[in-house]
């Protein structure tokens, strides 16, 4: 789309949206939500970028194909469930690691890994759909 306003606003908007999506991902991991809603916000950022800058530069900005992102995310989510095998717990049981240098750090857990996986699946799938729709136009 050839709109000067959009093209001027997009770099700032996309950066903010991606930052906010990661904030939501990490904020949400102990609340309901997290990965899914963060992934949707992240995917919207790429969708806006695609509308403003075109498909080719959006693909360059993403570096890897969106479907690969989704696959890696699914892998993260699946493997986060297997980690509990080594701690004698049931499949998908959350495992936390509180490092000695900062015992209050609460992000080093398989639960967050699972949420990151969900985030990547959502970003990959939605951006893939957005690219496919853009391609047809």
Rule CB under 8 A: say whether 133 interacts with another protein: no
Q: What angle do the packed helices 110-136 and 66-82 form, to 10 degrees? A: 160
Using CB under 8 A, pick the residue from 13, 20, 92, 134 that binds another protein.
92
Q: Which of residues 24-83 bind another protein (CB under 8 A)?
A: 30, 65, 67-68, 70-72, 74-75, 77-79, 81-82
Say how far apart CA 67 and CA 94 lie, in whole Å: 27
Rg for the chain, CA atoms, rounded = 17
Reading the block at residue 37, the tokens are 């809603």
Residue 86 CB, shortest distance to another protein, in Å, is 11
Using CB under 8 A, pick the residue from 22, 33, 51, 94 that binds another protein.
94
């Amino acid at each position: 789309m050839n709109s000067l306003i959009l093209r001027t606003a997009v770099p700032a908007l996309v950066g903010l949206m991606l930052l906010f999506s990661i904030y939501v991902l990490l904020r949400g991991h102990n609340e309901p939500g997290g990965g899914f809603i963060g992934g949707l916000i992240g995917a919207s950022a790429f969708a806006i970028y695609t509308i403003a800058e075109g498909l080719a530069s959006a693909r360059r900005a993403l570096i890897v194909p969106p479907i690969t992102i989704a696959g890696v995310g699914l892998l993260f989510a699946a493997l986060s469930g297997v980690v509990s095998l080594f701690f004698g717990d049931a499949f998908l049981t959350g495992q936390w690691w509180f490092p000695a240098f900062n015992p209050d750090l609460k992000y080093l857990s398989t639960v967050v890994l699972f949420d990151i996986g969900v985030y990547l699946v959502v970003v990959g799938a939605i951006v893939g759909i957005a690219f496919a729709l853009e391609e047809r136009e």
